[in-house]
Structure 1
Amino acid sequence: MNREQLFDIANAWFESKNWKPFPFQTQTWTAFLQGKHGVLNAPTGSGKTYALWLPIVLDYIKKNSDYKTKHKPGLKAIWITPLRALSVEIKQAAERVADDLGTQLTVGIRTGDTTSSERSRQKTKMPDLLVTTPESMQLMLASKGYDAVFKNCSAIIVDEWHELLGTKRGVQVELALSRLKTVAPKMRIWGISATIGNLQQAMDVLLGPNSEALGNSVMIRAHINKRINVISVLPEKMDAYPWRGHMGLHLIHEVAKIIKKSRTTLVFTNVRSACEIWFQALLDKYPEFAGDMAMHHGSISRETRQWVEQAIRDEQLRAVVCTSSLDLGVDFAPVETVIQIGGPKGVARFLQRAGRSGHRPGQESNIYFLATHAIELAEASALRRAVKETVVEDRVPYLNSWDVLVQYLVTLAVSDGFYPDEIFNEVKSTFCFQGMNEDDWQFCLNFITRGSQSLQAYDEYKKVEIEADGKFKVNSKAVALRHRMQMGTIVGDATMTVKFLGGGYIGTIEEWFVSKMNPGDVFIFAGRKLELHRVKNTEVIVRRADPVAKARHATWMGGRLTLSAQMSELLREELYAANTDNMSKEMHALAPMFTRQRKESIVPNSDEFLIETFKTREGYHAIFYPFEGRYVHEALASLMAYRISLLAPISFSLAYNDYGFELLSDQEIDMQQVLDNNLFTPQHLHHDLQASLNATEMARRKFRDIAVIAGLVFTGYPGKVVKTKHLQSSSQLIFEVFRDYEPDNLLFQQAYRETFEHQLEEGRLILALERIQQQAIIWKQCQKPTPFSFPIITDRLRERLSSETLAERIKKMTASYMK
Structure 2
Amino acid sequence: MSDQHAAAQLSSGLQYHVVNTLGWSSLRPLQEAAISPVRADKDCLLIAPTAGGKTEAAVFPVLSRMIDEGWSGLSVVYVAPLKALLNNLLPRLEQYAGWLGRRVALWHGDVGDSARRAILSDPPEILLTTPESLEAMLVSRRIDHRLLFRDIRAVVADEIHAFAGSDRGWHLVAVLERLQRLANTPIQRIGLSATLGNPESVLQWFQGSNAARRASEVVSAGVPPADPVIALDYVGSVENAATVISALHPGEKRLVFCESRSSAEELAFALRQRGVTTFVSHSSLSLDQRRQSERAFAEAQNCVIVATSTLELGIDIGDLDRMIQLDSPRTVASFLQRLGRTGRRPGATRNALFLSTDEETLLSAAALLSLWGRGFVEEIEPPPHPRHITAQQVLALTLQEGRITRSAIKSWFSGSPVMAESDVILDYLIDEQFLARDGDWYFLGPRAEQEFGGRHFMELLSTFITGLDFAVREGTKEIGTVSALSLTSSVKQGIQPLLLGGRSWLVSDISWDRRVIQVSEDHSKGKTRWASESLPESFDLVRARRDVLLGANPPADLSRRAMNQLAKCRDEWALLVDREYSVVERRQNDSVLWSFAGLRAHETLSAALPATSVISTTNDAMHFCPDFDFQLLDEASVSGAVPRISPEAVDGLKFSQALPLAMAVTTLGERFADRAGASEVQKQKRIVLSKSG
1:681 matches 2:634? yes
* Residue-by-residue CA offset, 1:6-63 (whole Å, 9 max, x unaligned): 3554444333434331232122122222222211121211110111122222222223
Amino acid at match of 1:497: A
Distance 2:66 2:563 in 1: 59
* Residue-by-residue CA offset, 1:406-447 (whole Å, 9 max, x unaligned): 2222222223344442430342532444xx2xxx43334444
* Residue-by-residue CA offset, 1:199-250 (whole Å, 9 max, x unaligned): 111011111267345x322210124202352522336xxxxxxxx83x4543
Distance 1:363 1:753 in 2: 50
Does the CA contact (< 8 Å) of 2:370 and 2:554 recur in 1? no
Amino acid at match of 1:354: L
- Alignment-derived partner of residue 81 in structure 1: 80
Does the CA contact (< 8 Å) of 1:47 and 1:361 recur in 2? no
Superposed displacement of residue 83, structure 1: 1.2
Superposed displacement of residue 301, structure 1: 0.3
- Alignment-derived partner of residue 67 in structure 2: 61
- Alignment-derived partner of residue 315 in structure 2: 330
* Structure 1, gaps ≥5 residues long: 65-71, 236-243, 646-651, 664-668, 713-745, 784-819
* Residue-by-residue CA offset, 1:55-77 (whole Å, 9 max, x unaligned): 2222222234xxxxxxx973121
Distance 1:633 1:399 in 2: 19
1:425 matches 2:399? no
1:274 matches 2:249? no
Does the CA contact (< 8 Å) of 1:487 and 1:709 recur in 2? no
1:750 matches 2:663? yes
Does the CA contact (< 8 Å) of 1:608 and 1:775 recur in 2? yes
Displaced runs of 4 or more, over 6 A: 475-478, 581-584, 634-641, 686-690
- Over 3 Å counting, the alpha-carbon distance change for 1:775 and 1:18 in structure 2 is farther
- Alignment-derived partner of residue 110 in structure 1: 107
TM-score, structure 2 as length reference: 0.87
Match of 2:681 among 769, 779, 789: 769
Amino acid at match of 2:253: T
Does the CA contact (< 8 Å) of 1:358 and 1:366 recur in 2? yes
After alignment, is 180-189 or 620-629 more displaced?
Answer: 620-629
How do 1:456-467 residues align onto structure 2 when only pairs under 5 Å count? Answer: 456=433, 461-462=434-435, 466=438
Match of 1:526 among 501, 504, 509: 501
* Residue-by-residue CA offset, 1:285-322 (whole Å, 9 max, x unaligned): x12x1xx2101000000011122222233235721100
Superposed displacement of residue 640, structure 1: 8.9
How do 1:708-727 residues align onto structure 2 when only pairs under 5 Å count? Answer: 708-709=654-655, 712=658
- Alignment-derived partner of residue 597 in structure 2: 628
Identity level (%): 22
- Alignment-derived partner of residue 129 in structure 1: 126
After alignment, is 135-144 or 369-378 more displaced?
Answer: 369-378
After alignment, is 314-323 or 628-637 more displaced?
Answer: 628-637
* Residue-by-residue CA offset, 1:462-501 (whole Å, 9 max, x unaligned): 4x554x7x5545599965854234421111421221112x
Query: C-alpha root-mean-square deviation of aligned residues, in Å?
Result: 3.5
Distance 2:610 2:302 in 1: 51
Distance 2:146 2:347 in 1: 43
- Alignment-derived partner of residue 14 in structure 1: 18
How do 1:42-441 residues align onto structure 2 when only pairs under 5 Å count? Answer: 42-64=48-70, 74-99=73-98, 101=99, 103-144=100-141, 145-184=144-183, 185-208=185-208, 211-213=211-213, 215-227=214-226, 229-234=228-233, 245=236, 247-260=237-250, 263-284=252-273, 286-287=274-275, 289=276, 292-315=277-300, 318-359=303-344, 364-374=349-359, 376-417=361-402, 418-433=404-419, 436=420, 440-441=421-422
Does the CA contact (< 8 Å) of 1:601 and 1:780 recur in 2? no
Amino acid at match of 1:547: H
Distance 2:486 2:228 in 1: 39
- Alignment-derived partner of residue 579 in structure 2: 606
Superposed displacement of residue 267, structure 1: 0.4
Match of 1:539 among 515, 522, 532: 515
Superposed displacement of residue 160, structure 1: 0.9
Does the CA contact (< 8 Å) of 1:346 and 1:393 recur in 2? yes
Aligned length: 674
After alignment, is 358-367 or 422-431 more displaced?
Answer: 358-367
Superposed displacement of residue 251, structure 1: 3.7
TM-score, structure 1 as length reference: 0.74
Does the CA contact (< 8 Å) of 1:268 and 1:322 recur in 2? yes
The alignment partner of 1:205 has SS state of helix
Superposed displacement of residue 606, structure 1: 1.6
Distance 2:416 2:198 in 1: 17
Amino acid at match of 2:536: T
Does the CA contact (< 8 Å) of 1:601 and 1:782 recur in 2? no
Distance 1:534 1:62 in 2: 61
Superposed displacement of residue 564, structure 1: 2.6
- Over 3 Å counting, the alpha-carbon distance change for 1:535 and 1:686 in structure 2 is farther
The alignment partner of 2:219 has SS state of strand
The alignment partner of 1:220 has SS state of strand
- Alignment-derived partner of residue 727 in structure 1: none
Does the CA contact (< 8 Å) of 2:34 and 2:57 recur in 1? yes
Distance 1:638 1:535 in 2: 45
After alignment, is 529-538 or 563-572 more displaced?
Answer: 563-572
Distance 2:670 2:347 in 1: 41
* Residue-by-residue CA offset, 1:738-762 (whole Å, 9 max, x unaligned): xxxxxxxx54343222332234x34
The alignment partner of 2:487 has SS state of helix
* Residue-by-residue CA offset, 1:717-756 (whole Å, 9 max, x unaligned): xxxxxxxxxxxxxxxxxxxxxxxxxxxxx54343222332
Superposed displacement of residue 763, structure 1: 2.2
- Over 3 Å counting, the alpha-carbon distance change for 1:361 and 1:705 in structure 2 is farther
The alignment partner of 2:317 has SS state of coil
Amino acid at match of 2:667: E
Distance 2:309 2:215 in 1: 35
Amino acid at match of 1:629: G
- Alignment-derived partner of residue 3 in structure 2: none
- Over 3 Å counting, the alpha-carbon distance change for 1:596 and 1:348 in structure 2 is closer
Distance 2:189 2:132 in 1: 18
* Residue-by-residue CA offset, 1:615-656 (whole Å, 9 max, x unaligned): 9xxxx68665333335555677899995557xxxxxx6x584
How do 1:498-537 residues align onto structure 2 when only pairs under 5 Å count? Answer: 498-500=472-474, 502-514=475-487, 517-521=491-495, 522-536=497-511, 537=513
How do 1:633-672 residues align onto structure 2 when only pairs under 5 Å count? Answer: 643-644=612-613, 656=618, 658-660=619-621, 670=626
The alignment partner of 1:499 has SS state of strand
Distance 2:539 2:370 in 1: 15
- Alignment-derived partner of residue 731 in structure 1: none
Does the CA contact (< 8 Å) of 1:369 and 1:380 recur in 2? yes
- Over 3 Å counting, the alpha-carbon distance change for 1:234 and 1:397 in structure 2 is closer
